[in-house]
Amino acid sequence: MSEGVSKGDPSNPDVSDTSEDGDGPAWTGDPVVDRVCDTLAGAAPEIERALAQRRAYVDRENPSGDRIRAADEFADTRLEEGLLAVGGVASYASEEREAAVAADEVGGPAGTAYHLAVDPLDGSSNLQSNSPMGTIVGVYDEPLPASGDNLVAAAY
């Protein structure tokens, strides 16, 4: 969702307020997945503003061997904090981390249903050229690693 279009914006025919609480669109019909989408949309402008000052590489690699930029770390931390605070999210696994983080390990609600697999800043190697990048999220109803049969929602 672009910064100029907000959920429930009557000028945008593709986004209508169909949620039960009137607080925005029902992205998927599942209230937890809808709150995950809201959290991602809310974090995007903050992450975008932070990119210019975080182009440099940090002194470590992610588990797949890619060098990590400061922007990767910032996006990962921001999304971890926001997504684990969503009631109904049990864990957050990121391309930037060795292991998933459980919601109850960071003060979120325990005993909840969904597990998120996230690439917080896909395409961060494009930072120098100002080429496209984004966030990839998979929402699963089983702990990770999980089968594709357990994927209930995905977003880019």
Counted domains in the chain: 1
26 within domain boundaries: no
Give CA–CA dist 64/41, Å, rounded: 27
What range does the domain containing 108 cover?
31-155
Q: What is the mean pLDDT of residues 36-60?
A: 77
Kindly report the CATH number assigned to the domain that includes residue 100.
3.30.540.10
139 within domain boundaries: yes
Give CA–CA dist 128/116, Å, rounded: 28
Alpha-carbon distances of 19 from 35, 63, 84, rounded to whole Å? 11, 38, 22
Taking only the tens place, the pLDDT of each residue in 9-24 is: 433 344 444 444 555 5
User: Angle at the Cα of 112 (from 107 to 101), degrees rounded to 5?
Assistant: 50
147 within domain boundaries: yes
49 within domain boundaries: yes
pTM: predicted TM-score of the whole model, two decimal places: 0.70
Give CA–CA dist 117/122, Å, rounded: 13
